[in-house]
Amino acid sequence: MKAAIFIGPGAVKAGDRPDPVIQEPTDAIVRVVRGCVCGSDLWYYRGVNEHAVGSIGHEFIGVVEAIGEAVTNLAPGDFVIAPFTYCDGTCPACRHGFQANCTHGGAFGNGIIDGGQGEIVRAPSAAATLVKVPGSSFTDEQLASFTALSDVMCTGYHAAVSAGVTAGDTVAVVGDGAVGLSAVIGSRKLRASRIIALSRNPSRQALAKEFGATDVVEERGVDAIEAIMRVTGGAGVDCALECVGTDESIETAAGITRAGGMIGAVGFPTYENFDYKTLFWKNVGIKGGVAPARQYIPELLGDVLAGRINPGLVFDFETDLDHVADAYAAMDERRAVKSLIRMGADR
Amino acid sequence: MKAAIFIGPGAVKAGDRPDPVIQEPTDAIVRVVRGCVCGSDLWYYRGVNEHAVGSIGHEFIGVVEAIGEAVTNLAPGDFVIAPFTYCDGTCPACRHGFQANCTHGGAFGNGIIDGGQGEIVRAPSAAATLVKVPGSSFTDEQLASFTALSDVMCTGYHAAVSAGVTAGDTVAVVGDGAVGLSAVIGSRKLRASRIIALSRNPSRQALAKEFGATDVVEERGVDAIEAIMRVTGGAGVDCALECVGTDESIETAAGITRAGGMIGAVGFPTYENFDYKTLFWKNVGIKGGVAPARQYIPELLGDVLAGRINPGLVFDFETDLDHVADAYAAMDERRAVKSLIRMGADR
């Protein structure tokens, strides 16, 4: 089969990998319909984080082609969304709804496990991992939103859930990437009454507003803190959603959150200087981590199918597997928020 | 009047301070009935944290002797509990119930503002700060519990509230000082089904059990983590209440909390090596800070008056103002959990 191969920093190309086959009775084989590139893939592409040579891409949707004998809740022909990590569904973390921390789980596309940027994937623990989509025919817009549910929409929602956003809250979203934009959707879903998006990019500002942002702050760093304190009448925000992971972004989140407020943290943490004690003295809490996409997909899928949310709009670049390098370059050069990769037939 | 004077590390003595008088229309003058020594006072006594020469002690209860003309909800003769910080009741932090972060607040007994270890206190912002106790005659046991509400019981409760303890939770309390013991009371109040107290001191273990602890773990450090993982069947706890503030205690809390769980942090933070990123990768959150005692006192006072909680049991040493040095020494030498200071008449 054809699949994207991570060769090294700056080098991702379509190549050949062995056709996946059922190895364990709990496996399923999924023909991928859409994959995409994650902001975290860029860290590998840029050489910031290490990645093994081999398969890459952890987000995908597709059609079940075969199942192991222990998989009783799926059948060939089912359309499924894969959360970006697989999970057994039975360990303590899974039972508490934190499947990304599954004792026996792992990530797709880590060099060895098949990646979502490829034609076919062997999905381990398929019964607990894959989420079946009801129906059999979907629009391009729906397919894009399903793909967003594989990771980015769930990750943005996890920021809002972790921060405990509730009806009437004032929320600030730090980061205008696909996760930050999804966090705006998540905040609106949880009925925040005011959602302040931090962005200086006109097209991202427009998308944030379409997703529910009520205010846009263009400033950065200390100036952003001053601006948000000003627009909140000196009170600060109830919840700050940290969707970047740098020292500047977490300092901004810490600086704008009111006494007793919460930071929802989902940005891949690359900060080095953040000291929790600064939050302690403000009575500000922080919670977050790798999103349990498997936990959120069923509910968010219902929102997509009902037309309540449209997270697929974060994709503003599309290509096919042969041009996967373009998908990375477009995001690396900030020409695209997020790149979608089409894989042949829609079903 | 007579009051404890902080002279320097290891030196706290009864001395003379000017009789407090109304300075602002929002002031009240309170004749102190009971004061006590806080674990945080010990940090000054031991020279770990700096303290100005002068008044000391931030916990007290007493009788209102005079009020400024702007104080309309109190009258001379009222019996009151003072939260350990005063607050204006109107700033954004106060309105959100985080009065210890009041923009115009401060702590009693900071060297300049009158301390609770003294005969008389001028209480600023008295209407918003002091909590009136209904009734006019109280037992020694009740007076001890009222004194505990000034800080330590509220601080322990804040750990449980900040961690979001809910009915059925498994909670571990790290720290067997007066705050940790109060956190056991707080966890039971919030209906945790299992409360694991970390203590190797027999009398503190006994008090923890009397307060509601279901399990005691004597191990420390890595051994404590292993022991708690063992008694929770490998799952870890839903909530860890960090009531110490050292590197060892916060590492223990981080090590025992399950994926998606919460740490409630109220120990005065002296840790240097704690890195929030370790919590991020476990999806564990942390929240806490200086307790908003003013927010909690009314509800906890109801519990005390109804006999549902008896936090005054944390006091296992009593003396008077002339022997205040003994009160410190008993705690410093770990002969006492917490020292109560009687100040003349009970009303």
Domains of chain A: 2-151+292-342 (3.90.180.10), 156-288 (3.40.50.720)
User: Is residue B300 over pLDDT 90?
Assistant: yes
Residues of B whose CB is below 8 A from A276: 269, 274, 276, 286
- Cα A195 → chain centroid: 19
Shortest Cα–Cα distance, B112 to chain A (Å): 22
Strands (E) in A44-202, as ranges, are 54-55, 60-67, 79-82, 85-86, 106-107, 120-123, 131-132, 170-174, 194-198
pLDDT tens-digit map of A32-71:
999 999 999 999 999 999 999 999 999 999 999 999 999 9
Which of A258, A287, A290, A295 would best serve as a mutation to test chain B binding (most B beta carbons within 10 A)? Answer: A287
Contact A100 B283 (CB under 8 A): yes
Given a cut of 70, whether residue A247 has pLDDT beyond it is yes
CB distance A12 to A4 below 8 Å: yes
pLDDT at A93: 97
For residue B108, the tally of other CB atoms under 10 A from its CB is: 29
Residue A329 clears pLDDT 90, i.e. is over it: yes
**CB neighbourhood size of B332 (10 A):** 15
pTM: 0.97
- Pairwise CA distance, residues B288 & B305, whole Å: 27
CB nearest to A282's CB, from B101, B259, B285? B101
Closest partner CB to B260 (pick from A97, A236, A282): A97
Give the nearest partner residue to A283 out of B101, B258, B282, using CB atoms: B101
B284 in Cβ contact with A285 (< 8 Å): no
pLDDT tens digits, residue range B3-57?
A: 999 999 999 999 999 999 999 999 999 999 999 999 999 999 999 999 999 999 9
Residue B325 touches partner A, C-beta closer than 8 Å = no
Cβ of A259 within 8 Å of Cβ of B93? The answer is yes
Q: Is A193 on the interface with B (CB under 8 A)?
A: no
Nearest CA in chain B to A260: B98
The model's confidence at residue A23, banded by pLDDT at 50, 70 and 90, is very high
User: Quick one: average pLDDT of B160-164?
Assistant: 98
For position A344, what pLDDT does the model report? 72
**Per-residue pLDDT tens for A121-157?**
999 999 999 999 999 899 999 999 999 999 999 999 9
- Count the Cβ atoms, other than its own, within 10 Å of residue B38: 27
Look at B283 and A236 and tell me if their CB atoms are within 8 Å. Answer: no
Pairing of strands B79-82, B131-132: antiparallel
List the Cα angle A303/A306/A308 in 5-degree steps: 55
Nearest-CA distance B290 → chain A (Å)? 7
| pLDDT of res. B344 | 72
Q: Is B185 in contact with B211 (CB distance < 8 Å)?
A: yes
B 238-267 residues with CB below 8 A of A?
Answer: 258-260, 262, 265
Whether the CB-CB separation of B121 and B115 falls below 8 Å is answered with yes
DSSP β-bridge partners for residue A29: A66, A122
Q: Is the pLDDT of residue A209 over 80?
A: yes
- CA of B280 to nearest chain A CA: how many angstroms apart? 5
Mark which residues 160-179 of B lie under 8 Å from A by CB: 162
Looking at the complex, report in whole angstroms how far the Cα of residue B94 sits from the nearest Cα belonging to chain A. Answer: 9
Nearest CA in chain B to A169: B96
Q: Residues of A150-189 as b/e, b for ≥16 C-beta within 10 angstroms?
A: bbbbbbbbbbbbbbbbeeebbbbbbbbbbbbbbbbbbbbb
Write out the two tokens for A40.
Answer: 């975290």
Q: Which of B226, B161, B224, B215 is nearest to B193 (CA)?
A: B215
Contact A283 B269 (CB under 8 A): no
| Summary mean pLDDT of chain B | 97
Task: Give B232-271 pLDDT, tens digit per residue.
Answer: 999 999 999 999 999 999 999 999 999 999 999 999 999 9
- A276 and B286 within 8 Å at the Cβ level: the answer is yes
Distance of CA A218 to the CA centre of its chain: 24
Enumerate the residues of chain A whose CB falls inside 8 A of the CB of residue B100.
283
ipTM (interface pTM): 0.96
